[in-house]
A = this chain, B = another copy of it.
Amino acid sequence: MAVATLTFGDRLAEEVERKRSQLVVGLDPLPDLIPVEVRDDVARFCCGIVDAVAPHAVAVKPQLAFFEALGAEGMAAFAETCVYARRAGLLVIADGKRGDIGSTARAYAAAYLDGEEPLADALTVNPYLGRESIEPYLAAARRYGTGIFCIVKTSNSAGDVQDVKLSDGRLMWQHVAQLVAEWGEDLVGEHGLSSVGAVVGATHPRAVSEARKLMPQAIMLLPGVGAQGAKPGDLARAFTSGPASALVNASRSINYAFRGSGDDFRAAAGAEAARLKSEIWSVSGW
C-alpha cells in the first residue's frame, strides 16, 4: 500500500500557517434562508460562499444532510461544491457523521475519502460502532492523506448519552476522547497532529480544555460559534498543541450574514469570515 507523502494533519497545518487562519466555514444550504436569486441553484449559492471565504478560511464543511434533503440533485450540488472548493484552495470536511461496519464503512470511505481525487479531505464520523467501524477511514488516511473528525462531545445537550458516568468515574465522552487519541496514534504527522481529529462543541468551553488534555495530538473541530452562541474568546486552550490544533467552525452566521446587513450574500459572507478569522487567530495566541 502506497503511503501518502503528506498526512491530512500536515496538509492542514501548512494551510493554517500560510493563511493564518483556523476558520472553517460550514455550508448549510437551507432553501428557506438562501437568497432569492440562487434559491433554485444550491451549488451556485455554495460556490458563491466558497469564493467569498476562500481568502479567510482554511476549510469548508458542507453539511451532507442539507444536500441529501434535496435528493440526487442535491448530491450533485454537493459534489460540485466539493470540487469547486478544493480548486479554490480550501480543504473540504464533509459533515456526514457517518458510522457503520465492515464493507458498509468501506463504502463510506470510498464515497468521500478514497482515491487520488477524493471528494473530501476529511469526513466527520460517529464512534458508536467502535474501532472496527473506523478502520476503513484509517486505511484511507494512510493511503490518500485524508482524515476524519470523530464526534466526541457535541454542541447540543446530549448528556443522556455523552455524559453518562462509567464505572471508572469517567464520562462517556471522555472515554471516547481516549479512544480517538488511540485510533489516531499511528497517524501523527511532522507537525505533531494526527489525521484523526475530534468534534467538540464550542458551547462547552470546560470540556474543550479537558478534551485538549485527553487528545493532545488531535485536531479539534469546534462547532457552535455564531448562531449557537459560543464565543471564540472561551476557546484559547484548544490551541495549545499548535496553531492548527483546533479549528473553529461557523456556518449560518457566515452563510446568512447578508440577512442582517442587506449586502450581497457573497460580500456579507466574506466580511464576516474575515472578521471571525482575525478574532480566532488572536485568541489562539499564535
Contact = CB atoms under 8 A, between A and B. Distances in A.
B69 A111 contact: yes
A75 B72 CA distance: 5
A104 B157 contact: no
A285 interface: no
Contacts of A75: 68, 71-72, 74-75
A127 interface: yes
18 contacts: A28-B104, A30-B103, A63-B104, A65-B98, A65-B104, A68-B107, A71-B76, A72-B78, A75-B75, A99-B99, A99-B126, A101-B158, A128-B158, A128-B161, A129-B156, A130-B154, A164-B172, A165-B167
A156 B126 CA distance: 15
B156 A102 contact: yes
Interface of A: 28, 30, 63, 65-66, 68-69, 71-76, 78-79, 97-105, 107-108, 110-111, 126-133, 151, 154-162, 164-167, 169, 172, 175-176, 179
A268 B69 CA distance: 35
How many copies the complex holds: the figure is 2
A100 B98 contact: no
B128 A160 contact: no
Contacts of A151: 128-129
A105 B97 CA distance: 11
A225 to B, nearest CB: 15
State the 8 A-B residue pairs at the shortest beta-carbon distance, nearest first. Answer: A130-B158, A72-B76, A65-B107, A101-B156, A165-B167, A69-B111, A72-B75, A69-B107
Given A111-B65, A166-B165, A160 B179 contact: yes
Given A72-B75, A156-B101, A161-B179, A65 B128 contact: no
Contacts of A127: 128, 161
A78 B28 CA distance: 23
Contacts of A68: 75, 107-108, 111
A78 B72 CA distance: 9
A99 B125 CA distance: 10
